[in-house]
Chain A
């Protein structure tokens, strides 16, 4: 790594101003775990880093909103999310997901804003938050915007975020009456990047599915909603035949890529089986 200018502004708006540096490479750094890897590997050599660790403390707050939804400051660490009673109550699937997300030390410093902005399709929370219908608030010189997490990603390590646009807050809508699950499938060691991630969320009325979201990640360039598969569930009681049909629909509605974790053909079979297992797990969750 080579020396660079390190700015440590005290407000988010100052930080955004510092991200404008013309042609030289500038990035914001929060927990920095992912960025440090890129810098150490020589993939990214900054002229300036803008540290967010001194910005207003409110950007790390996690609160339950009056409607029962969650507001998570972008600077909240993944550990603080994992420990948060509010998160566990409002969206237990997030708490569950964090248990096998990277490791304790990474979670201790990595922030949810950085996690979402990184654009690596192997990350665990983008599919989960997409399934939960979450949004992010972003800040840039142009002003504040609200975007769906589902719309953040345009490709492998590519997001819609402008170079000087920062995520300031994550909003998880109220999940009352909905069931959710996330399965992270690793095919090498137990602790690994996922071969496949599957997040599901179901709105049930009595035993009938009223709405469903199924999101696949890791084997695709971006987290992807499988709407054709979702359709197969509506109006059903998630009986065995429906689950099978849903697994098949999931497989036929998406192109999966082969890599060191497995062939595309094998990942399709994992998707077929784990889509059904994720739905079963969601059903088994006691609200």
Chain B
């Protein structure tokens, strides 16, 4: 019955393509249920302060308002209303004090959005303001302490030592030691040291956060169903059950399509408040944020990075020391994991015998930072690929040559001691060089319009160890259901997973339904994040499909049928006398992983490596500093592509998103207040911002440990973009920028500095 349909590796359209082009695809933002109340949040107007009083009288009195709750009300249904994946540090509504401007302080429930909004505007609060800290480096030593006591969640063993620690803003420090950097610096021909900065930015999926919470029964014996725009339904169920003191089976989390996620919707976001409100109100409650409110939900870490290298005169890097300070904002979210996991690779994709890395997750009085398409890697690549280029220029070594000299080779140990396996670093770099025609001279432009080019390459360890489960059901007519809690937020996972089932069972993709996450129905999955699904869930799905196929074959053989040639419906008919019955295959997957020791050393840091490189060509107007990225070439190693067309869209999309973080996006603050919380003033890339030439390529590679040779895709395109463009600007006009975003004004100021005629600062 297995047809050679070769579903894997084909560029079939997305399963949900028709639903998306007709406007019928379901998103929680569009969901409405009978009797539903709308929640609107009143937010803190100070960055750090003790709450003296909250006045909700006028809001409660407003016609159409069902209820107004504050943090103390939440305690009636959740005794300890603090949540978070790494730390239980985030109150559902502020208790005792507020830690950033924009923090939820009270919530209005009304039958109508307009009424809820108007009522929220009638709430007022008074605070005793406290000294605040905003900068990540200052947070290391600041007397302004964001959390009096640290509250690690207990889920992660390596955070336990932080329990009850007080008087510090350091939520996690990660250290890696390999060889002896001090000795190597002392004997190096050259030592270079540079500082870099990245700005705070955010995800901004066009579908903002949304949860509809529906309580049934009473508070003691009832259940709670959450329809949510989450990337991690299994985690939401566990966390809501923990908050309510319930067993997991009483909380149900359902996820339709997501209008984008990019890491914003991981772990727990809008769910805790919606759940608490529904429990208090005993009515369905919808908490859907506006675009503006996204600026107060979750962001990407601003970072300060210091990097120092010892180098031989011919460009071999002998030692590297990195210090990274991550601005985590007021709540840890998954910041400590970003700090640790990215710490593994902070020294870059190079073979360096002596490495020292110190990485710190800091609390500050800003909106919380979490994971955004790369788990901290784009910030690190920005620093180490700018630094590498600066060394090359100083030593007058070709930028490609210095990378060739130092690049990690297959089977060689990376800074953690883990050997590089199935990591096509060399291949990616060489393909980039070929496509950029690096060996040919570049047209350098005119007197006023100068041209330059730059390259950068980065890599990332996957998030480990994490678990995925899947169920494949073969129906009596030969059609199939795949039950998986992977969330399709646009990356095309439904399609890729269906292609894998199709490949194993030999059923065409059109006959496979991918059942969307529903924790009463679909089995556990850690989350859809960190480019982990194709590999982890892919394995689980493949295992489940193989299990189902093996059972089907066994059943056929038992019935005396040829397993390989009998059509599926005939097997079922013979077994059950009619079109009846089904076969259920299960699969699970957890990759091997060894926790790093005190020096950050481990034999198993990751199940696979993600690799991305970018080449950029720019044109700089030296009269104004304005520049255009005229060409962007993106190379990645994703192993074998399950669906090449969707993979290319992922590479391209990741690259353009990072282009925004490189050129146009920046959260602006005034004393901790976001001053540009809208798409009018926070500029994400539009269609006119796309370089005229964009080329994307996944190199011909194979992840031997991956399902069908595949591995993660979603983040790799982001890695090299920022430093490649900065390197190209340097190449064009000799101006080195060390802070993101790269602006025309910064280039212009650099030109003026070079000319010995600095521009005024007014």
Contact = CB atoms under 8 A, between A and B. Distances in A.
Question: Direct contact between A and B in the complex (CB less than 8 angstroms)?
Answer: yes
Contact of B686 (A190, A260, A270): A190
B371 to A, nearest CB: 25
B745 interface: yes
B662 to A, nearest CB: 12
Interface string A246-263: 000000000000101011
B744 A264 contact: no
B624 A189 contact: no
Interface string A53-65: 0000000000000
Most chain B CB atoms below 10 A, which of A187, A189, A193, A258: A189
Interface of B: 114, 117-118, 121, 623-624, 626, 664, 668, 675-676, 680-681, 683-686, 688-689, 743-745, 748-749, 759-762
Contacts of A2: 114, 118
B683 A189 contact: yes
Contact of B676 (A260, A262, A266): A260
A263 B762 contact: yes
Interface of A: 1-2, 42, 187-193, 258, 260, 262-266, 269-270, 273-274
A279 B623 CA distance: 16
Contact of B664 (A1, A188, A270): A188
30 contacts: A1-B114, A2-B114, A187-B626, A187-B744, A187-B745, A188-B683, A189-B684, A189-B686, A189-B688, A190-B686, A191-B689, A192-B683, A258-B762, A260-B668, A260-B676, A260-B681, A262-B743, A263-B761, A263-B762, A264-B762, A265-B759, A265-B761, A266-B745, A266-B759, A269-B624, A269-B748, A269-B759, A270-B624, A273-B623, A273-B624
Given A266-B748, A273-B623, A189 B685 contact: yes
Contacts, number: 53
Contact of A193 (B626, B680, B748): B680
Contacts of B745: 187, 262-263, 266
Given A2-B118, A269-B748, A270-B624, A260 B675 contact: yes
Contacts of A190: 686, 688-689
Contacts of B689: 189-191
Contacts of A266: 745, 748-749, 759
Nearest to B685: A189
Nearest to B752: A269
A265 B760 contact: yes
A242 B664 CA distance: 35
Closest 4 CB pairs of A and B: A190-B688, A189-B683, A265-B760, A188-B683
A264 to B, nearest CB: 5
Contacts of B762: 258, 263-265
A189 B744 CA distance: 11
Contacts of A193: 680
A263 B759 CA distance: 10
B721 to A, nearest CB: 16
A144 to B, nearest CB: 36
B640 to A, nearest CB: 36
Most chain B CB atoms below 10 A, which of A193, A258, A269: A269
Given A2-B114, A273-B624, A191 B688 contact: yes
Contacts of B623: 273
Contacts of B685: 189
A132 B760 CA distance: 34
Contacts of A274: 624
A188 to B, nearest CB: 4
A193 B681 CA distance: 9
A1 B117 CA distance: 8
Nearest to B675: A260
Nearest to A273: B623
B664 A189 contact: yes
Contacts of A188: 664, 683
Contacts of B668: 260
B679 to A, nearest CB: 10
A262 B681 CA distance: 13
Given A263-B759, A263-B761, 8 more contacts: A2-B114, A191-B688, A260-B675, A260-B676, A265-B762, A266-B759, A269-B748, A273-B623
